Amino acid sequence: MTTPRTLSLRTTTVSGVGISVVHVEGILDATTRDQFADYLDTTSEEHGPDLILDLAGATFMDSRALGLIVHHWQLCTQAGGRFALVGVHYPSSKVMWVTGLAQRLPIFETLDDAAAALA
């Protein structure tokens, strides 16, 4: 019997700039991709195209999750929104570096840095 993968997601808003922040905790892979996709879609529908993904609590990310993140980056920017990643750590998101996307995605060290850049 295998242990089910868990993913915890919650949304907050950055005061003063009105940007939604999705906080991710757990594993981002094929087993949690649909949950993550549905959550991001709902967040965008309810709060608009501005989005910061806080990945500090992500313990692993595969290429499917990265593809979903890139897709939402494109959706946000095409809709005139702002997008950023924070809390990105090499051990849990190695796929970003392997693919070269760590140099292309808007990654910030802290939530405050991202909010200031997107304000």
Backbone angles phi, psi at 75, to 5 degrees: -60, -45
Cα gap 98→30, rounded to integer Å: 18
Q: What is the pTM of this model?
A: 0.89
Spans of all domains in the chain: 7-118
Confidence of residue 40 (pLDDT cuts 50, 70, 90): very high
Largest interatomic CA distance in the chain: 48
Q: How many other β-carbons are positioned within 10 Å of the β-carbon of residue 82?
A: 20
Backbone angles phi, psi at 100, to 5 degrees: 85, 0
pLDDT tens sequence across 43-94: 999 888 999 999 999 999 999 999 999 999 999 999 999 999 999 999 999 9
Which CATH code for domain 7-118? 3.30.750.24
